[in-house]
A and B are shown apart, each in its own frame.
Chain A
Amino acid sequence: MKSPPIGCCINGILRLLVGGAFVFAGVLKIADPAKFALDVNNYRLVPHEMINLVAILIPWIEVTAGSFVLAGIWLRAAALVITSLTALFFAVIVSALARGLNIECGCFGTMGGKHIGLANLAIDSTLFFLAALLARRSKDCPANVIFKEAGAQKSAPPPAAGLKFPIQFL
């Protein structure tokens, strides 16, 4: 039996981190869209009429892209979407900091309720880097490699001679 290549294990961890973070962040915002609309409004970047639309759509795009990454479907494309979103969020946070706005980030719903600062930039940069890495690496390790290998492990090895143990009938 061949064990999965180490690179594919790293891809699996990256998928969990990046996809999980985006699904989590999106679900928190979807749970309270009015609060997220208020957060979007506080950045003073979006025309007033468009605030609700942005607050409705961004979290669902996050959840969709995160789910694709978690499921390993169109992995590279989904990682690209997340990379683009994190780049956009980075620019938005930098712009708010440059204008001296003392507002809540809105990045992970109401969690923490912390005002934007360097910590948000650090988290965003980390996600950007991990998503870009995932987009780059997924060429060398297709998502289904892990599942194929896991499937191979599930098939029970032939029982050793003389082994009389009920588990071999399971």
Chain B
Amino acid sequence: MSAWLRASLPQALVIVFFGIGAGLAGNQISPRGLPLITPPRQTHKAEAFIALDQAKQLWYRGAALFLDAREPADYAAGHIGNALNLPALSFAQHFGEIAPMLTRESPLVLYCDGPECDLSQRLAENLRQLSYTNLHILSNGWTAWRQAGLPTTPGGQK
């Protein structure tokens, strides 16, 4: 290790510790401060998940707004009829477009695609943090909906 690097390392550590101290203090003072230890993920209640039949009834009665949690490219390639796109991975960027159509009590059906997909759960977490309470998750939503021959909007259409 060269002499200049050896001489600079203690100072570099001081800078890092100074940043850590400032961060902890700033977080305490800031009204937007976060808990230092991330709270455990909210386990989704069983009733948060709905069956395809229930989702179908909500859709035909127009009793719920369907939100597609997938990426815009996936949504554009085809989605549940009348569903809106609110990508879970860029929630903050897109929420402003959807928010005017919602109230805190609006029944919402969230879906993504594939049994392993957790985008609708992530979207639900984001919405819960903003006090939206009437959330329903349709597991493996896109595939299940399509395979059941229910109304979809094909790619290229809004």
Binding site for B on A (CB under 8 A): 30-35, 37-38, 42, 48-53, 55-57, 59-65, 68, 74, 76-78, 80-81, 84, 102-104, 110, 113, 115, 135, 139
Contact = CB atoms under 8 A, between A and B. Distances in A.
B23 interface: yes
Contacts of B4: 76, 139
Given A33-B32, A38-B92, A64-B22, A48 B38 contact: yes
B24 interface: yes
A113 B71 CA distance: 13
B41 A48 contact: yes
A77 B62 CA distance: 62
Interface of B: 4-5, 8-12, 14-16, 18-20, 22-24, 26-27, 30, 32-38, 40-41, 71, 89-93, 126, 129
A34 B32 contact: yes
Contact of A65 (B5, B19, B35): B19
Residue among B11, B12, B14, B30 with most chain A CB within 10 A: B12
Contacts of A51: 38
Contacts of A31: 32
B38 A110 contact: no
Contact of A59 (B5, B23, B36, B129): B23
A105 to B, nearest CB: 11
A60 B26 contact: yes
B37 A53 contact: yes
Given A61-B15, A80-B9, 4 more contacts: A42-B89, A48-B38, A57-B24, A61-B20
Nearest to B33: A33
A57 B91 contact: no
A135 B7 CA distance: 12
B19 A63 contact: yes
Given A48-B40, A56-B34, A78-B12, A102 B23 contact: no
A56 B36 contact: yes
A63 B19 CA distance: 8
A85 to B, nearest CB: 9
Contacts of A59: 23
Nearest to B35: A52
Contacts of A65: 15-16, 19
